[in-house]
Structures are given as C-alpha cells and as structure tokens.
Structure 1
Amino acid sequence: MRKTTALIMLVLATTTLITSCSSDDNSPPMTDTCSNGKQDGDETGIDCGGSCDPCKTNNVLSGDVTEDVTLDASIEYDLTEAYVVKDGASLTIPAGTVIKASGGTNAYIAVAQGGKIFVNGTSDNPVVMTSASSNPAAKDWGGLVICGKAPTNVGATATSEVADLTYGGTEAGDSSGSIQYLRVEYTGATFNGSKEFNGVSLFGVGSGTTFKYVQSYNGGDDGIEFFGGTVNGEFLVSLNSGDDSIDFADGWAGTGSNWYIAGGAKAGIEGSNNGDNGDAAPVTQATLKNITVVGPVDEGALYYKEGGGDFTIDNFFISGVDLGVKVKDGDSEAATRLEADKLVMTNVQFVDVEANFVYTDYTGANTDFIQEGSATGAGNGAAAPNWASGWTVGLSNSGSQKGEVLSGDITGEVTLDASKEYELTSAYTVKDGGKLTIPAGTVIKATGGTSSYIAVAQGGQIFVNGTSDNPVVMTSGKAIPAPKDWGGLVVCGKAPTNVGETATSEVADLTYGGAITDDNSGSIKYLRVEYTGATFNNTKEFNGVSLFGVGSGTTFEYVQSYNGGDDGIEFFGGTVNGKYLVSIGSGDDSIDFADGWSGNGDYWYIAGGAKAGIEGSNNGDNGDATPVTTTTLSNITVVGPVSEGALYFKEGGGNFTITNFYTSGVNLGVKVKDSDTEAGVRLEADALSINPMQFDNPADGFVQTDYAGANQDFITVGNNTGAGNGAAKPDWANGWTIGIE
C-alpha cells in the first residue's frame, strides 16, 4: 500500500515538472536545458541528474512565427537566422528587450503581409536590435524588414529586395503593427553591390502602422527606407549610414516629421519616384517638416532623383554641407517636376557650409524651390533634439535642455521667435545679403566661449527690435555667469576708417571699411549684452559690442553692455551714431572709439568700468592717420572710480566736442599719455573742448587732467545733468537695463 502511494506521488511530481516547463502561446519556444548546456532528449544519452534546469528558456530566434509570440525583456536573444512573422501572426517585443544578431545576411527580422510587429520600447527603455560581435561593425547583420498591403508604383504587388516577401496592394490604411522606441545597430549585411539590407526597410507599409522614435545607427546601407506605402515616420534618427540616411521611393505617400540625420556617407535624404520609370504612378508624395541634416554629405542634404515627386518640406536645418539639393543630370522627369514647382522647401537654413557650397546643382530655369528662413530643424538645429535624449546612441544632448541652437552662416532672411530661448553654441554670422531679425523679448544664451558670438559681415544686416519693456538679451548660458563667458556682437560695415582701405576685424576675421559713409548694417534698438569679452590672448578679445566701419545708415541706440570682460562698446572707425548707450561693469574701457570714427554720441551712461570711462583715440600705429577721429558727444555721465580717467585722450586723440559731461567719484578727469605727441599737438590746437564738465564727489587725489602742456583750457567746469539725472539712473534707461541704482 505504501509502495502504491509513493508511485502515485512520483507520477504527480513528474507531471507537475512537465507542465511548468511547457511552452505557452504567448512565449517563444522553450526547452529543458541542463547546466552543462545539454538539453533533455539529447541523443547523447547524458543523464543530467540533479543539475538539470528544466525551465530555462531557449533564447534563440529563428524560423517562422505562425502564432502570437511575446518576447521576455529579461532575456537577451540571439538572432541566428531569419525570424519571420507570417500572415495572421504577431510578434510583441516589450520595452528593454535586446536582440543580438550573428548570422550576416541570414540574420534578420521580417514581417510578412498580414503579420504584425509590436515594438513597445520607451524613452528610458528602448528595444535594441544589434550585432552579437564583440567588435561590432556596419553590415554585421541584416536589419528589420516590414511588408504591407499599401499601394506602391512598382506593380500591383512586388517582392522585397531582401527577405523575398510579397508587398504592395490597395489597402492604404493597412496595419503592420506599431514600432516605438526602437534602435537598430550595425545593420546592412550585403549580398552584392545591388542587394543589401537597410537598417529598417518598409515595403508598402500602410498608414495604420505606427512608426515613430526609431534610430538607425552605423548601418552599412541606408538607415531607414520607405518603399512606397502610406506609413508616416515621426521622430526618426539616422546616424552614420553607409549610403543614404533616410530614403523614400516607389510612390511613398506618407508624412515625415522630426528627423535628425548626421554622418551619412551619401545623401542626407534621398527622395525619388521610381528607378525604372520616373513618371510611374502613384507618384511619390512626401510632406516633411522639422528636419535636420548635419553634413558633410556627398550627395546633398536632399537628393531629388528618379523623377523625384511632389515634396513639401518646411523647417529644414542644414549644417556643414557642400550641396543643398542634388538633381542628377539627365533626370528629365525630376526636372519637369521642378519646373512645375513640385518641390517646395520653406524656412530652410544653411549654417557652417563648406567652402564650395552651392544651394543646388540643378541648372534649370526654376531655382526658387529653396526659400531660406529661420529653422530649428528637428528641435535644436545641429545639436541633438530633446526628444532623442535617453533612447538613442551617438548623440550629444548637450543643448537639449538649453534651447534651440544658433550657429553657422545666414545667407538669406532669418527671423527668430521671441517665444523660444536660443542657445548660441558657436559663431552665428550674417553674410553679405543676409538679414537677421530678432524680435522684442528674444533671449539668446551663449555657451561656446571665444567660439560663441554673433557677427554681421559687410553687406549683411541685423535688426534688433527690442522695446523698453521687452529688450533683446544676449547673455551667458552658464548657471553662474561671469565676464568673458562668450564673445559678443560684432558688426562690420563699409564706412571709412583710417586703418586702410579695408581691414580685418580683430575678432570674427571679417572685412570692414570702405567709402560708403551712409552704409546700412540694419537697426539695433533696446539690446542688452551681458558677460561678454571672451579672450584669445592679451591683445585679442571680444568687446560687448564691436562696430567695425559701420555706416551712418545704421541705427544704434538703447544698447547696454553689462559685466563685459573687455570694453563695453567700441567704435572702430565708421560713421554710425550711438545714442542712449549704457556700459556697466566693463573689464577695460566702458565706451571706446578709434580709427577715424566720425559719428556722434548722445546720452551715454557709464559706471563701474575698470579703466577709462571713455577712451577716445585716432590710430594706435599712427596718431595722425586720416580721416582723423572726429565726434560731438553730449549728455554724458561717468560714475567712477575710473583708473584711466573719465576721458582718456590717446593715440592722437582727435577732434572732440563734448557738452554736458557729468562725472561722479572720479580721481582723474582727462588722461593724456606723456609720450603721445600727436595728442599733445591737438590739445594745443584746441581740438578737444569739454563745456561744461562737472566733477561731483571727486575721489581723493582728484585732478582735472594729467596733461602737462600749456593749454589747460579744454575743460570748462560747470553744472549739468549728464545723461539725464547726473549719477542716478536716467529716465530713458528705465525698464530695459540692469545694474543701475
């Protein structure tokens, strides 16, 4: 009786063991595996004994999926050969799942027509399909292939280039599942020169399919390619593709938004209709917006080829390319569409372009398909977009929390958006013919040291449209800002100077000077620059605002420099006038003019500068250079102490007439260097006249001037209000300035 009971218990235990290890419909196949690597049922006859782990899951993916399968994110899977989801079946891949492929061209995941895939990654926990190699490289394995029933222009149905699956049809809304937060790496295994895998290939996939937050990284061929179909692609990243980064063709009729592309070998985007018949129907219809392409790229930011199609692209940011839009010679169907305005690109911005850059190599009559403007591309210009943080690889998200990036060259008309905060990461230069408009309230934060500045070249224009209640602010991007954090604003014009017919600016390396006295570099009103003055060396550093040969057609008023590392505002020749200027806390002179400046200044408020309140000179190499600096200043306040005088008349000085000059707390009124013979000659000839000049609350040891020559009459002492309220904040400075009591 006891023997019978024991036998029954043994049978029950064995049954329980088998039941617990059986495969269920929602998991990949499982086998009973021993710790020595052998499985129950092996023909070797090895007895596992007590070391057998009967419930370890087989982690190999291969063969056909004919029923619904769900993977397990706690298991790392080996993709050894084709793993194909057949008609009527589904494959679900949860967040955090890692699949490593080891089979070259034989290793790929494919979804046949009627099958479905659900990639359920998250921003913190993406699904990753990658190489199993210890030294992974492009072309290690195939990639992901999805085939749907949506229309294409390659026939009623066709066979996919890889995986040999049927695709295409008439079901525009067909669903092949949902793919979100997926990263594919080291794809692109090659059969031959004309047959190779992409990172993700979408053959006739329908609009019922979700395809977003997908990255291809270091693929051997195209990163992501749409072969016809109607599926939309959103939040896509393609880095370092061996061919084109994102490609669409064969009558694709989807939309794309928020694409970030960098490092591809050929085209940033290749858009075509049909390689065999450029007029095949349905014609590729693509609507793209919020696109970034970072070059260099050999075949253009956009390669419009094989008939092209009807493309509308808006907010296209392109950096470091040598060709904007490529069109293949002899592509008559593409040319016909271009002439019919079938390609429309608006708000296209080119920055950091190559030396031989051209907008397009298309030589037809219509070249108006590119309309330049301000662009943020995928979100942050050339920098990594915020939405790519966490789930992608190969990106630096350094600007992701700081704002939209400004960098590179402006060759068209760009208008910033005051509702956005901008990050100035490097030089941002308005080139000849370009225009930069900055509306009231815009904030620009600089993060690049000496590399970070805004410049306007000869022929370019800047329009800073601040208001007293809503100024434009250019400042440091550091959490604890300090002088010299970044460069500053540099404007170069075509007005006369005395340093040669033309010259090169001390910073930004731009040409300036000429013979156009009324040259117009735009209009700057209600601007505040803060923490400028980044230093290259002791003789080369930025000012808050540097005006090189700027002409009188330029408006320059209501401008403040605050806590700059060098001079606050400096005029290098030119004829521009400066009105309602404020310089607070400069590391050198507060306002400086030289090199034959012949503009006038009115209402200047200066306080807290390290050296001279105003430094006025003619030419540092030749004090008699012509044209001689000539100016009339009125309504000036300098609040000391100042180590080099309220006015430093130096390097030949010039012809200065100053009225209503109020000083407070200074220890020296007018400084003149002993050995400056040209300045002495001008002083003796009454070239400097200050009337009236008030010295309020003079510092200990105060003197009106250290000039020891015969003429001491250039200063007439008298009461005045200077910039408006003596040492106090002038009324016109209310609202838009900082640092004034």
Structure 2
Amino acid sequence: MTFYKKANNFYSQLKFKKMKKVLFTLILMFATGAFVVSCSGDDDSGSTASCTDGVQNGDETGIDCGGSCTPCTSANLSGDVIADTTLDASLDYELTGAYVVKSGASLTIPAGTVIKATGGTAAYIAVERGAQIFINGTSANPVVMTSASANPAPGDWGGLVICGDAPTNKGNNVTSEVADLQYGGTTANDNSGSIRYLRVEYTGATFSNDKEFNGVSLFGVGSGTTFEFVQSFEGGDDGIEFFGGTVNGENLVSTNSGDDSIDFADGWAGNGENWYISGGAKAGIEGSNNGDNGNAAPVTNTTLSNITVVGPVTEGALFYKEGGGNFTIDNFYTSNVNVGITVSDTDAEAAARIENGDLTITNIQFADAPTDLDITNYTGANQSFFTEGIATGAGNGAASPDWAAGWTRGLDNSGASSTQNLAGEITGDVTLSADVEYQLTSSFYVRSGGSLTIPAGTTIKATGGTAAFIAVERGAQIFVNGTATNPVVMTSGAATPAPADWGGLVICGDAPTNKGTNVTSEVADLQYGGNTANDNSGSIRYLRVEYTGATFSNDKEFNGVSLFGVGSGTTFEYVQSLNGGDDGIEFFGGTVSGNFLVSIGSGDDSIDFADGWAGNGDSWYISKGAKAGIEGSNNGDNGNATPVTTTTLSNITVVGPVTEGALFFKEGGGNFTITNFYTEGVDLGVNISSTDAEAAVRIEANALSINPMQFSSPATGFEQTNYGGVNQSFITVGDNTGAGNGAAEPTWANRWATGF
C-alpha cells in the first residue's frame, strides 16, 4: 500500500481535525527523511508520539498519549535535512552522525543553541551547495557546537562544512576534502546563509594526513553569505579555512588550533577584517593559491586588515605559500613570534609574486619578539614588501579585542565584559550562557510551564540579601548541566562574601508531603505539594551554592537549596552548599533522591529533611556545620503526620564538632535505614530529644536502624546517643569509609566541590 493510501485509511478512522494534524505530521516525516526525533511517549494502544516541535504532546502529533506527555529536553541530530528546519535553543542536541542540509533546504539555529557531538569523523554538520544555514547567535548567547565527551579534546568530532557555487581555481563541481560534497561554480554572489556568533570547539577529527576536518571549512562559498563573529576553539587541525569562494570573514577568532589558525587557498577572493589568533601550532595565517599549480587562476586575492597573531608559531605569523596570491595587509600586530613572514625557498611562484609587488604588508609590528626573530626568511631582491610600524591589530594588540568579549572561550575577556542581570520571571524556555557573568539583583522566578537551562561553567553572582533568590514554581523545570570540571556556581557578588549574603535556590514540586497539598513555601511564597510522586522539576547536576541563607526571621530563612515537595522524576546529584547562613540542603517532603551531596560550613544543620520526605540518599559529605550534621524529622506540628518520613541513606560522612549530633532524629523522626555512617570528632552521635514521644516510639519499634556507624576520634565527653529508652541496639558500631574516604574529601567530589 502506498504512503498516501495508508494516510487516507488512517484519515477515515479519525476525526477531521485530528486527521489533518496526523496527515501533516506523516507527510512531514516522510519528506524530511532521516531527521531525528528527540523523545517519545506511549499511549494505551502502544502508539509512539514523536517530539517534532520540542513538545512531546499527543494532540500535537495526532496521537493521544493519555495525558502523560511531558516536555522534551533533548534531541539527536543525524541524517539529511531536505525541508526548512529550525532548531530549538531550549533542547540539548546531540550530534550522533553526519547531519547534512540538502540543496533547496535551510537550517536555522537560534541564539543560545548548544550542539554536542560524538563519533569522531562520523559526526559533522554539512551544508550542501544550494542549501543555506542561518546561525543567529548573539554576543550574549552564541551558538555553540562542541564535544559531548566528559573530557573533551581536539579531534573529538568533525566540524562545520559549508559548500557553495562561487568560483575556485580547483574548477567547478569539485569534491570537498571532507563530507564528499560538490562545490565550486560561477556564482560569485552565491548565498549559503548567515553565520553570526558561532563557537566551534574540539573539532578536527582526522581520516588521514590529507583528509582532516577543520573547525569551519568554507568550500566555494559566495559573497552573498554572511560570516562573522566566529571562533574555533581547541581544534585538532586548522581553525577556519576558506577553499576558494568569495565570502568575506570578519571578527574571526582562532584559539589553540592543532595546525594553522586561519587558512585560505584555491583562489579565495574574499576579504578579512578583525582576526584574532592565538595558541596555534603552526602558521598564524596560511595564505596560498593552489597546492598543485601555484599559478592557477583565479588567483587568491584578498585585503586583510586589523590582524593579531600571538605566538609562538612554528611556520610564521603569515605563511605565504603555494604561489601565495595578491595580498594587501594593513595593521598587522604580532606578539612573541619567531618568524614573521615565511616563504618556502622552493616556492618559485610565490617568490615571483613578491618580486612583482603582489604581497604588501603595511604597519606590521613585532612586539615581545625573541632575540632570534626572523622578520622574514625570504631572501629575494624585494625586501620592501612589508613596512614596520605601530599596530593595534584586532583592536588591543596582543590582548583580547573588545568585540570578542562574552561569546568566546579561552581569551582574557571571554565573558568578562559581558554581564547580565537576572531578575523578574520567565514563562518560556530560557537558556543561559556560560560566557556571561550573571548578576542576580532580585528574585528570579521560573513560572509554571517554563524552563531554565544553565550550562556547565556558568556563574551567577547575587546581591541583595533576602530579595535575591532563584525560585522554580511547581510545574516549571530547571536544568543545571554542570560537569566535574565546570560546575555551575551560584555565589555572592560581594567583594568580601559572607554567609547569608543572598537567599538561595528554591524548587517547588507536586509530590506528596505530610503538610498537605497546595502548601505555601517558607520562602519565595510558592505553592507546593500534591499527588504526583514522580513529578519532574528538571535535573540538577554539579551545582555549587555559596554564601546563601539570608534571613527574614528565626522561622523564615533561606537554605542553600530548598526542595519543597519535589518529585522522584527530578535528578538531584553532585550538589554542594558552602558557607550557608542556615541549613545547607533541605528536603521538605517530596520523593526526590539526593546523591553525592556536600555541605560544608552551614550556619545551622548541614542536610535536613522533614515533612514526609520519601526519597533516598547516597554519598553525603558533611563538615564544619554549626548544629546537626543531619537533621531528620517527620513533622514539627504533628510527629505522627502521614505520610511518614521514610528514607534509606548510605555512605555518609559527618565531620564534627557538632552541637546537635551527627544525626538529630526529631519531631517524630520517621523510618530511617542508614548504612556506612562515618563520623569524626563528634561529641554526640545520635540525638533524640527527651520530650519527643513520637520519635521514642519509633525507635522502640525499630524504625531507626544504623549499621555500621563509626565514631573516629570522638570529642571529649563523647556520647554515642543520648537516647534513654529500652532499645539501645538501633546502632551497630563498625568501621566503614562513609562517603568514600572517611573524613577526607571523597574522590567523587574532586574538582567541582571546595572547602574541605
């Protein structure tokens, strides 16, 4: 049966409105071939709802997913795009294979989009001749194409390849070195789209010495194309390379390329302005005509201005080779280069052009030059093709140019000059940028239906005491995507930070609590609590909050992170509170689990849970807290309230001294099973108030079990427990390693946590 007959049969089984949506979706999926989907949900009949627009919603796709549909958060990219396609900056894209925009189609990538690639040479983005790409980054929110590796390195993936129909001296219909696409023609003003504020990282995957990806490769790209504010960072081969064509390149940055930094050849007839190059392995700029025939036409012909090359370089600030071309360069600043202009002594065509005056460099400055500097190794008769002078290069000499601030990586001012205030509220999907320093000057709410994504390495600095906090409303989501080497940090903006400088992070969910439903949070005045045990408030990984805990009163204080009725669908791991004015991390009911948590220097309890919390915890490290290491309770108003706090904790370290016990089992306590509990320097192991009748009943009923618990180097006057009841066997003493290394910093906390 043909595709359309199947669609017509499907039509007859559905209501007219739903049928139109289904038919459109099916035709679109058929037309776009291998374009990938991101997430899916199954309805009762087993049908799968594909996430085609960033929302996994059965009504959008014509499939009823029974009300269990949830927002998509990620998507894979691979295959061919043959219809106009726009990505979504709120999604986490993974490039798992070749992603090729075919002739006649376009790909639009909005500001703030991040694409993470896996797969070496198999993963790249390519734009076919006749196709277009529109990269609409901004200085505050560049588009980033990077490696998905936990330990990214040059050569992790291919790069970006764009092919056009402009002239080259390689001829027409040439096959690109990588991606196997045709390029080159007679359309000088060919338009392959617009690329602005793009950063490509860890590119340069290699097939062989003669077949390597660059950060960005432009094959026969025409002058109708915009190419500006582009950085290659830590590429394995060349940073940016022009293979013929007529496109101009402005405000380009190449940092730490494994070969040449910016390269052009094959009759390139574009111009360049504002290039900042540093850390490259070989030539700063490699400019050539044709590797097979130095006199091939059309000859490479360019005017470059405002150029900085920071060395050392092994092949010159400029390597004029393979026939060179007609180059006019002005305001050329070099720093710490050992060769200024390199010309091979076997390159007769290049030498002929120098003698003919085809290479002219005015105002070239050699700053911080080594004593053995060769301004040029060219020994021909014409030694006046360059004129030394005072230059500013790309703007600030060897220093990072102002126009590179905020959107680049690896420069002195990467993000330094780009600051933004966070205040107010968001209702849509918002992604921050790691290259922007955010100032939290007031309350910042993520409202129901919205999401906030915070990428690795982002820093948020808060001022304003109780007025400054981040709050996630019930029904909203937060995605903190830190890594071990680049955690997200929320800290004080004070010159001399101190505990309680600002509020903290507040997350509210719809999971059960024994305080009821629709309860108002202690801080931020949000509703929380419901009947959705698996409620999903997002994902928080590798987050450090510092100097939190601003106080309204003794009964109304911010913690480092407060989780009110947060559900088990939420990820909460690798989180540290450092030097908070109140509790470090506190769970107010809910079902979310907390793993790999660190609380150091809290002004009250270090980690606290109550109100029917039904999550679990693994690998907690606690030290320097003022009161209890862990405070675990059921309900401060009614110790027997239900659901009762119930948890299993494992691999716990509490380093004292503590004034209220390594564990304070209070206000009815709950059902606690704790294994591998290591304490050091504590004066009281387990604290139970003599007036807490509900807690005592639970201990007598064996609702509290700790096995093994180690008391290393106890303080003077040490007590294992102050409980005076009959059951004294709820603690079994034995050696263990606690969070991993006893009292020492656990290995899982290396690099992202601090204050040990």
Q: TM-score, normalised by structure 2?
A: 0.49
